[in-house]
Amino acid sequence: MGLEGEQVHQSGSGWSPVYVEENLGVMSVGFLLGSPDDAVIWRGPKKNGLIKQFLRDVDWGEVDYLIVDTPPGTSDEHLSIVQYLSATHIDGAVIVTTPQEISLQDVRKEINFCHKVKLPIIGVVENMSGFVCPKCKKESQIFPPTTGGAEKMCQNLNVSLLGKVPLDPQIGRSCDRGQSFLSEARDSPATLSYRNIIQRIQEYCEQQHSLEEKMI
C-alpha cells in the first residue's frame, strides 16, 4: 500500500484510518510497531483485544466494503473476527490458494472451518496459476497442479472458483513500491484476472444484499 512509516492518529471519534486514496482507508498492526522489523509476540487475549479495537474504535465512517486480510490457516484470529462480526451479517470469505497440494490441504481445512462457523464462502482464488511469458506469450506451469489444483478442489467441495491469477513479476515489484498493479500493468493477463474476480465478488455481495432486503 506504500504506507510504511505512517502512524495512527487519534480523534474524538476514535482512531483515524490511514488513507491510500480518498476512498481507501487502511488500519494495520504495522502502524503500531516501533520498527518494521519488530516481531508481534502476543498471546491470544492481546491479539483478540486489538482485533476488537480495530473493529470498534476505528472511525471507519460510511464504507461500502470492509476487507479483513487474515493470516493463513485456521488460527484464533479467524474465530475472533467471525464472532465479533456475527451481528453484522458478513457477506463471506474469499479464500486464496496456490495450485500445489500442500496449499490445497490447508485450504480444505479453511473451507471446513467456514462451514462449521456458518461463514458463507464467496469463492476461491487460485494464485500463482501458471506463468505467461511476456515475450513469446507461452504459458508454463511453474507450480503444476498435481491433484487438479483449485478447480478440482472446488468441484469436489461444491464451492465457487472465482478465478486464477497467473504469476507476474510486476505484481511483486508493484507491491514492494506501494503502487497499484492494476494501474501499472493494465494489459497484463493478471490484471484482467483480478478485475474479473473483483466483478464476481461484487455481484455476489449485491445479490446477497438484494435477498436480505426482500426478506426484510
Q: Where are the domains of the chain?
A: 1-63, 90-215
Please give the mean pLDDT across all residues of the chain: 88
In whole angstroms, give the CA distance from residue 215 to residue 201.
Answer: 21
pLDDT of 213: 72
Q: Is the pLDDT of residue 96 over 90?
A: yes
139 Cβ contact list (under 8 Å, min separation 6): 130, 131, 132, 133, 166
Regarding the domain with residue range 90-215, which homologous superfamily does it belong to in the CATH classification?
P-loop containing nucleotide triphosphate hydrolases (3.40.50.300)
Could you give the CA distance from residue 93 to residue 110 in angstroms, rounded to a whole number?
10
pLDDT given for residue 200 in this prediction = 95
Query: pLDDT tens digit string along 188-208?
Result: 889 999 999 999 999 999 888
Rounded average pLDDT over 101-106 = 93
pTM: 0.88
